Amino acid sequence: MSVTQETLETSELINWTIFQELLLMDEDEEGFALSLVETFVQQANETFIKIEELINSNNTNDETLEKLSQLGHYLKGSAAALGLRKVQEQCERIQNYGKKDSFDNNEIANNARDNNDWIKCVNEAYRETRINFDKSKLLLSQYFQSEL
Amino acid sequence: MVVDNIESSNDPEGNINNINDTNNINKTMIKEEDKEKGTIDTQSVPSQGSDFVKKLFTMLEENRFDNIVNWSDNGDSFLIMDTNEFTKQVLPCYFKHSNFSSFVRQLNKYGFHKVKISNEAKQKYQLENVWEFKHPDFNRFDKSSIENIKRKIPVKKDSNDNNSNNNNCNHLNSIRRLEDRINYLEKENSNLTNNITNLKSDSMKLNQKYNTLVVNLLTSKDINMSLSRSMECLYNSILQLGGRVSSEIEFPHLDLMDSNKLVNNQNTNINTNPNSNPTNPAINNDNNINNNNNNNNNHIHNNNTHSSINGNNHNQSIPNTNKSISVSPINNQIESHNSNQNINDNNNINNDPNTHLHIKSEPFDSNDIKLTSPNNALSEQERIRNRPKGSIIHILLVEDDDICIQLCRKFLIKYGCTVVVVNDGLSAISAVEQVKFDFILMDIVMPNLDGATATSVIRSFDRDTPIIAMTGSYHRKDLAHYSSHGMTDILGKPFTKDDLYMILKKHNINPVILDPPSAEPMQGHIHGHGHGNGQVQVQVQAQGHPQVLPPQQVQQVQQVQQVQQQNNNTTTTNNNNIPYNTITRKRASNPNDINSLNTIPIINTNNETLLTPSILQPTGMTPDVSVFTNPTNIDGLVVPSEVDVQEALATVDMDLLNVPDSEYGSMFKRQRNM
C-alpha cells in the first residue's frame, strides 16, 4: 500500500495544516521536510530513553515527575511543530501527569493518590506516545519512502 | 430588658449579613421586626415605660460621664459630646454593647430625633463631633412623661392596617442600616487598599531583588567564562614555556573543559546560522581597517567603557597577524572584573610569540567578551552598529527545540530576515545586549532562564524591541504573566508560516514576500525602505542621530563626536557626497532575489552604504533622542509598573484568542478544540 499525500491528509496521526507547511518548504530546499522528520525521530528516541530511565529508576520523588513533565513538554513542542497530532497529544499527557494534573479527566489519573500512581500514569501515557510515534514513523517512512 | 438585649445582639449581625439589595433587606427586616414584636408582645408590653428610655434617663441623671454625654441646658434634649468616647465608655456601661449606630437606631425607634446643629454653630462652638437628641416627652424635669415614650414599631395588627407607615419606617431603617453598612465597607475597603499597597511595594522590592540577582548571575557567569579563558591562556603558555610547570600546578582540568563546553555551545549556536555572523569584514580587510583597529585598541586601553564591543569587532576582522590584540580585551575584562588577576602573566602571554595556539579558539574570545557586560549593555548606538550589514530585518530566535528552530528559521529566512538563534534565556540577554534586533521571538520554557524572565531583564535596557512569546499555553493568566514581564505579544505554537507572517506584520515588520500568504502585495514600506531597484533617498528626521551612519564607518569609532568627524572624513574619501543625514542606499539588482540578501551580506564596495532598518522607529514614531543617551546600568533595572502591565496587556489582543478565524489563522482553533 503506497502512502500518498491523501493518506496523510486523512490520517488522524497528522495535522495536515502543519505538515503541509513542511512539505511546501521542500520547494526551496529539497529534502528539508524529510530532514526535519529525521531530526525529530532522533530527538524522540533520545527523549524516550531518558523517559524510560526515569520511569524505571524507582525514584518516585517529585523531582522525577518534574523531569518527566519537562521531557513531555519538550517532545510535545517538537511533535506539534511537525504536526504529529497524536504524539503531541500523548506528550501533553506526560507533561501534565508529571505535574500531577489530571487535565483530561483520565480515569486512572483521577484516582492517582501518590507519586507512584502518577508515575504509572506517565508510564501509560508514555506507552501511548510510543505506539503513536511508531505508527507515525511508519506512515512517514512509507510516505518519504525512506527508512526512518 | 429582653428587647434591648435582642436589639444589641441582633442588629450588628443583621447589618453585616443582609445587605445585598434593598428589597431583601426590607423583607428580612420586616421578619426581624415581627420576631421582636413577638417578644415584646409576650414579655415587655405590660411594663410599658421602656427600659431603654429609663436607662437613658438614669444615665443622664447620674451624670457619670458629664464630659461625654449630658443634658442640654434647658433639659429638653441631651448631647453626646464625643461619639467615640461615648461608644467606648458609656455604651458598655449602660447598654452592654459598644455599637453607636445601634444606639442611634434604638433612639430612633423610640422617636428621638437628632437635632440639627447649624454649620455656623458647629464652627463657632467647635461642635463637630456633637450629636444632640431630642424627644418631646423626654425632659430632664418631667420624669413621669418618659412613660409615654414607646417604641414606634407597630404591632402586628398595625402592620396589617398601616402598611404604608410600616414601610416608611422600614425604609428609614434600611437606609440607616445601609449607611452603617457603607461606613463599614468603606473602612474595610480602605484597609484592603492599604494591604494591597503594602503587598505591591513588597512585590516591587522582591522583583527588583530578583532582577538584580539575575543580572548578578549573568555577571558571575561571564566572569567565570573570562576567568576560565584566561586560565586556558595561562595553561597554554605554560605548556609552551615548558610542560613541567603544568604538572606542578593543580590545574582544574574538568572545570576548564566544562566552561569550554559552555562557551563552545554558545558559540556554535550562534554560528550555526550562516546569517548570524554579523559581518565578514575580513573580506575587505585592508590596511586601512587594520590601522583603525589598532586605533581602536588604543581606545580600549584608554577607556574601558566600551571596550568589549570593539574587541568583538576586531576579533572578527583582524587577520591572524594581530593575535596579541585579540587577547588584550580579555585583559581589560579581567582587570575590570578582578583587579587582582595575574595581569603580568597575561601580559607575558601577549608578548609570547607563540600565542597563536589559542587563535583556534579566537571566536570564543569574541563570544566571551560578548557575554561580559550584562549589567552595562552596550549603548544604543553601538548595538545598532553591531547589526549585520545589509540586513533588512534582524531577528533573534530564542528556542531550545531543534525542530522549531529549523522550521522557524526557514520561515524567517523566507521572509528576508537575518536570524540569530540562541538556546536559552541567558544567551538571549547577552545577544540583545550586543545587537539591536528588530524582533525577538522567545520561547517560554527553556533551560537556564525562562523566556519571561529573560524578557524582563532585556526590558531593563531595551524597551521597544517587540518580544514575542512563542508558547503552547496561552491562557489569560499566562498572557498576563508574559505581559507583566514586558513581552509584547504572543505567537501560539505550533504556528504556520502565515501565522508568523501575520505577527511580523502586526508589529510593523514588513516581511519580504517570496510567496505571499495573502493576495495583498507588500509594497508600502515604512520609513522609506524602498524595495525597488536603484537608489532610494532617505531623509532622516532628526539631526545628530548617529544610528543612521553607515555601520561600516561607525564601527571604527567610539564617541558620537568622533563618529561625526570620521563620518565626514570617510564620506569624502569615498567620493560619495552624501550629506550627513542623508543616506543613499543601493539594493541588490534583483529585488526578488532575496536569497542573496539572506546569505552573509557581501559588502563589495565602499560606496554602498546601507540604512539601518526600520527598527529605529519600530512603532512608526519619531526616534526619541533620550533613548540613545541613556545607557542603562544595573541600578536602572526596570520593574514593570502596573501601568506598564496594563498597557502591555492592552496591546495583546485577547479577543483574538477567542476568535478562531482571526488573523492568527487556524492555530487557535486547533488549540481551542483540545
The per-residue pLDDT of chain B, averaged, comes to: 62
Q: Quickly tell me which residue has 520561515 as its cell.
A: B411
Q: Which of A11-25, B89-103, B495-509, B658-672 has the lowest mean pLDDT?
A: B658-672
pLDDT(B43) > 80: no
Closest residue in A to B401 (Cα–Cα): A78
User: Tell me, what's the pLDDT at B643?
Assistant: 56
More confident residue, A128 or B1: A128
Average pLDDT over residues B407-421: 87
pLDDT tier at B573, thresholds 50, 70, 90: very low
More confident residue, B127 or B359: B127
pLDDT(B259) > 80: no
pLDDT(B522) > 70: no
Residue B546 CB burial class (10 angstroms; 0-12, 13-18, ≥19): buried
Show residues of chain A in contact with B493, CB under 8 Å. 77, 80-81
> Which 492-531 residues of chain B touch chain A by CB within 8 A?
493-494, 496-497
Contact A81 B400 (CB under 8 A): no
User: Tell me, what's the pLDDT at B154?
Assistant: 53
User: Tell me, what's the pLDDT at B79?
Assistant: 84
Strand B439-443 to B467-471 pairing: parallel
pLDDT tier at B109, thresholds 50, 70, 90: confident
Ranked by mean pLDDT, the top range of B4-13, B149-158, B191-200, B416-425 is B191-200
Show residues of chain B in contact with A39, CB under 8 Å. 402-403, 406
Give the closest-approach CA distance of A75 to chain B in angstroms: 9
Residue B148 DSSP one-character state:
G
Q: Is A73 on the interface with B (CB under 8 A)?
A: yes
Average pLDDT over residues B632-640: 42
Show residues of chain A in contact with B668, CB under 8 Å. none
Give the closest-approach CA distance of A56 to chain B in angstroms: 24
Q: Cα–Cα distance between B397 and B293 in angstroms, integer?
A: 31
User: Tell me, what's the pLDDT at B649?
Assistant: 54
Amino acid at position B658, single letter: N
Identify the residue among A20, A22, A25, A103 best suited for mutation to test binding to B, counting B beta carbons within 10 A and taking the highest.
Answer: A25
Domains of chain A, with CATH numbers? 5-23+30-144 (1.20.120.160)
Q: Which among A64, A77, A81, A69 is positioned nearest to A25, based on CA atoms?
A: A81
Q: Is B177 on the interface with A (CB under 8 A)?
A: no
The fraction of chain B above a pLDDT of 90, given in percent, is 7
Q: Is B109 on the interface with A (CB under 8 A)?
A: no
Q: Is A76 on the interface with B (CB under 8 A)?
A: yes
Query: Around Cβ B76, how many Cβ atoms within 10 Å?
Result: 17
Q: Cα–Cα distance between B263 and B235 in angstroms, integer?
A: 17
Contact A81 B404 (CB under 8 A): yes
Contact B670 A28 (CB under 8 A): no
Amino acid at position B204, single letter: M
Residue B602 DSSP one-character state:
P
Identify the residue among B400, B407, B424 best suited for mutation to test binding to A, counting A beta carbons within 10 A and taking the highest.
Answer: B407
User: Tell me, what's the pLDDT at A1?
Assistant: 57
User: Tell me, what's the pLDDT at B200?
Assistant: 94
Q: Which among B220, B212, B219, B198 is positioned nearest to B639, based on CA atoms?
A: B212
Identify the residue among A14, A16, A17, A35 best suited for mutation to test binding to B, counting B beta carbons within 10 A and taking the highest.
Answer: A17
Average pLDDT over residues B126-151: 80
User: Tell me, what's the pLDDT at B380?
Assistant: 76
User: Which residue blocks in B574-638 are alpha helix, DSSP H?
Assistant: 595-598, 625-629
Closest residue in A to B666 (Cα–Cα): A17
Show residues of chain A in contact with B469, CB under 8 Å. none
Task: Give bridge partners of residue B470 from the DSSP assignment.
Answer: B443, B491
Average pLDDT over residues B480-494: 86
Q: Cα–Cα distance between B645 and B532 in angstroms, integer?
A: 40
Q: Which residues contact B540 (CB under 8 A, 6 or more apart)?
A: B548, B581, B582, B583
Show residues of chain B in contact with A31, CB under 8 Å. none
Identify the residue among A12, A27, A28, A88 best suited for mutation to test binding to B, counting B beta carbons within 10 A and taking the highest.
Answer: A28
pLDDT(A44) > 80: yes
Local structure of B112: helix, strand or coil: coil
User: Tell me, what's the pLDDT at B467?
Assistant: 92
Ranked by mean pLDDT, the top range of B164-173, B359-368, B386-395, B401-410 is B401-410
User: Tell me, what's the pLDDT at B295?
Assistant: 44
pLDDT(A89) > 80: yes
Q: What is the pLDDT of residues B196-209, one digit of tens each?
A: 999 999 999 998 88
More confident residue, B503 or B340: B503
CA distances (Å), origin A96, targets A7, A92, A126, B512, B522? 31, 6, 12, 40, 42
Average pLDDT over residues B632-646: 47
Q: Is A31 on the interface with B (CB under 8 A)?
A: no
Contact B403 A81 (CB under 8 A): yes
More confident residue, B587 or B495: B495
User: Tell me, what's the pLDDT at B139?
Assistant: 84
Average pLDDT over residues A69-74: 91
Q: What is the pLDDT of residues B423-467, one digit of tens each?
A: 988 889 888 888 888 899 999 888 888 888 889 888 888 888 899
pLDDT(B628) > 50: no
Local structure of B393: helix, strand or coil: strand
Helix B425-434 / helix B362-370 crossing angle, nearest 10 deg: 90
pLDDT(B333) > 50: no
Q: Which residues contact B411 (CB under 8 A, 6 or more apart)?
A: B497, B500
More confident residue, A47 or B82: A47
More confident residue, B346 or B413: B413
Contact A24 B402 (CB under 8 A): no
* DSSP secondary structure string for all residues of B323-366: HHHHHHHHHHHHHHH-TTS-HHHHHHHHH-GGGGGGGTTHHHHH
Give the closest-approach CA distance of B413 to chain A in angstroms: 11
The fraction of chain B above a pLDDT of 70, given in percent, is 46
Of the candidates A17, A28, A74, the beta carbon closest to that of B666 is on A17
User: Tell me, what's the pLDDT at B531?
Assistant: 38
User: Tell me, what's the pLDDT at B189?
Assistant: 95
Q: Cα–Cα distance between B524 and B514 in angstroms, integer?
A: 16
End-to-end CA distance of chain A: 18
pLDDT tier at B294, thresholds 50, 70, 90: very low
Q: Which residues contact B176 (CB under 8 A, 6 or more apart)?
A: B101, B104, B105, B108
Ranked by mean pLDDT, the top range of B42-46, B126-130, B330-334, B557-561 is B126-130
This prediction has a pTM of 0.43
Q: Cα–Cα distance between B557 and B576 in angstroms, integer?
A: 20
pLDDT(B317) > 60: no
User: Which residue blocks in B613-660 are alpha helix, DSSP H?
Assistant: 625-629, 642-651, 654-658
